[in-house]
Structure 1
Amino acid sequence: MIEPRVALVGAGWVVRQVWAPLLVQQQAQIVSVIDPQADAAGAFPALAPAPRWHRCMSDQALRGCNLALICSPNVHHVHQALRAMDQGLHVILEKPACLSLAEAECLIQRSRASATELLVSAAASHRSDVRALVAAVAGGAIGTLHCLDISWRRQRGIPRPGSWFTQAGQALAGSGADLGWHLLEVALQVLDYPLVEAALYHHVAAPGDAGEHQASWRAEQAAAAEARIEVESQSFSCLKVEGGPLIRMSTAWASHQERDATRITLYGSAGELQLHTTFGFSQNRVAQPSLTLTVDGRTTPLAFAAEDNVAPYRAFLRQHLATLGSSPQAREGEYRKLRSLASAMSALYPHLSSSGAAPSVQ
Structure 2
Amino acid sequence: MKDPCVAFIGAGWVVRTIWAPLLAQQAARIVSIIDPHLPSREAFSDLPVAPRQHGCVSDKALEGCNLAFICSPNARHVSQAIRAMNKGLHVILEKPACLSANDAHALIEHSRQAGVEVLVTAAASHRSDVGAMLEAVARGDVGNLHCIDVSWRRRNGVPRPGSWFTRADQALAGSGADLGWHLLEVALQVLGYPLVDAALCNHVPAAPDEASREATWREDEDGNSTSAIDVESQSYSCLQTRGGALIRLSTAWASHQRQDETVITLYGSAGQLCLRTTFGFSQNRVKHPSLVLSVAGIDTPLGFADEENVAPYRQFLARRIALIGECAASRELEYRKLQSLASAMSAMYPHQSPPGGALHRQP
TM-score tier after normalising by the smaller chain length? over 0.9
Structure 2 residue 236 is the aligned partner of structure 1 residue 236: yes
- Aligned residue number for residue 212 of structure 1: 212
- Aligned residue number for residue 359 of structure 1: none
In the alignment, structure 2 segments of 5+ residues that lack a partner are 357-363
Paired amino acid for 1:270: A
Paired amino acid for 1:261: E
Structure 2 residue 20 is the aligned partner of structure 1 residue 20: yes
- Aligned residue number for residue 263 of structure 1: 263
SS across alignment from 2:342: helix
* Alpha-carbon distance between aligned partners in 2 of 1:91 and 1:222, rounded to the nearest angstrom: 28
Check whether the contact 1:274–1:291 (CA below 8 A) recurs between aligned residues: yes
- Aligned residue number for residue 288 of structure 1: 288
**Within 5 A, what are the aligned runs for 1:103-118?**
103-118=103-118
Q: Which moved more, 1:216-225 or 1:247-256?
A: 216-225
* Alpha-carbon distance between aligned partners in 1 of 2:224 and 2:28, rounded to the nearest angstrom: 37
SS across alignment from 1:131: helix
Paired amino acid for 2:321: L
* Alpha-carbon distance between aligned partners in 1 of 2:88 and 2:58, rounded to the nearest angstrom: 13
- Aligned residue number for residue 344 of structure 1: 344
**Within 5 A, what are the aligned runs for 1:289-304?**
289-304=289-304
Shift of 1:354: 2.2
SS across alignment from 2:232: coil
Shift of 1:226: 2.6
Identity percentage of aligned residues: 65
Check whether the contact 2:163–2:222 (CA below 8 A) recurs between aligned residues: no
In the alignment, structure 1 segments of 5+ residues that lack a partner are 357-362
- If the length of structure 1 is used for normalisation, what is the TM-score? 0.97
Paired amino acid for 1:202: N
Shift of 1:225: 4.1
Shift of 1:211: 2.6
Task: State the Cα deviation string for residues 12-60 of structure 1 (Å, max 9, x = none).
Answer: 0000000000000110000000000010231113312100000000000
Check whether the contact 2:323–2:330 (CA below 8 A) recurs between aligned residues: no
Q: Which consecutive aligned stretches of 4+ in structure 1 deviate over 6 angstroms post-superposition?
A: none
Shift of 1:329: 1.6
- Aligned residue number for residue 165 of structure 1: 165
Paired amino acid for 1:75: A
Task: State the Cα deviation string for residues 151-172 of structure 1 (Å, max 9, x = none).
Answer: 0000100001111000000000
**Within 5 A, what are the aligned runs for 1:1-362?**
1-221=1-221, 223-354=223-354
Shift of 1:355: 6.0
* Alpha-carbon distance between aligned partners in 2 of 1:122 and 1:323, rounded to the nearest angstrom: 15
CA 1:225–1:47 in 2, change beyond 3 Å: closer, same or farther?
A: closer
Check whether the contact 2:174–2:231 (CA below 8 A) recurs between aligned residues: yes
Task: State the Cα deviation string for residues 88-119 of structure 1 (Å, max 9, x = none).
Answer: 00000000000000000000000000010111
Aligned residues: 356
Paired amino acid for 2:140: G
Check whether the contact 1:210–1:227 (CA below 8 A) recurs between aligned residues: no
* Alpha-carbon distance between aligned partners in 1 of 2:183 and 2:144, rounded to the nearest angstrom: 20
CA 1:47–1:225 in 2, change beyond 3 Å: closer, same or farther?
A: closer
* Alpha-carbon distance between aligned partners in 2 of 1:306 and 1:41, rounded to the nearest angstrom: 34
Task: State the Cα deviation string for residues 112-170 of structure 1 (Å, max 9, x = none).
Answer: 00010111100000001001101101110011111100000001000011110000000
Shift of 1:87: 0.3
SS across alignment from 1:98: coil
* Alpha-carbon distance between aligned partners in 2 of 1:317 and 1:224, rounded to the nearest angstrom: 32
Task: State the Cα deviation string for residues 291-325 of structure 1 (Å, max 9, x = none).
Answer: 11011111111011110111011001001111211
* Alpha-carbon distance between aligned partners in 1 of 2:148 and 2:242, rounded to the nearest angstrom: 14
Shift of 1:224: 3.0
- If the length of structure 2 is used for normalisation, what is the TM-score? 0.97
* Alpha-carbon distance between aligned partners in 1 of 2:243 and 2:182, rounded to the nearest angstrom: 22
* Alpha-carbon distance between aligned partners in 2 of 1:89 and 1:133, rounded to the nearest angstrom: 35
Paired amino acid for 1:183: L
CA 1:51–1:247 in 2, change beyond 3 Å: closer, same or farther?
A: same
Task: State the Cα deviation string for residues 44-92 of structure 1 (Å, max 9, x = none).
Answer: 1331210000000000000000000000000000000000000000000
SS across alignment from 2:247: strand
- Aligned residue number for residue 360 of structure 1: none
Task: State the Cα deviation string for residues 331-358 of structure 1 (Å, max 9, x = none).
Answer: 11100000000000000000011269xx
SS across alignment from 1:122: coil
- Aligned residue number for residue 359 of structure 2: none
* Alpha-carbon distance between aligned partners in 1 of 2:170 and 2:222, rounded to the nearest angstrom: 20
Q: Which moved more, 1:162-171 or 1:221-230?
A: 221-230
SS across alignment from 2:125: helix
CA RMSD of aligned residues (A): 1.0
Task: State the Cα deviation string for residues 188-226 of structure 1 (Å, max 9, x = none).
Answer: 000000000000000001121123211010111374343
* Alpha-carbon distance between aligned partners in 2 of 1:318 and 1:29, rounded to the nearest angstrom: 15
* Alpha-carbon distance between aligned partners in 2 of 1:279 and 1:314, rounded to the nearest angstrom: 15
Check whether the contact 1:152–1:262 (CA below 8 A) recurs between aligned residues: yes
Q: Which moved more, 1:215-224 or 1:60-69?
A: 215-224
Check whether the contact 1:40–1:53 (CA below 8 A) recurs between aligned residues: no
* Alpha-carbon distance between aligned partners in 1 of 2:58 and 2:102, rounded to the nearest angstrom: 25
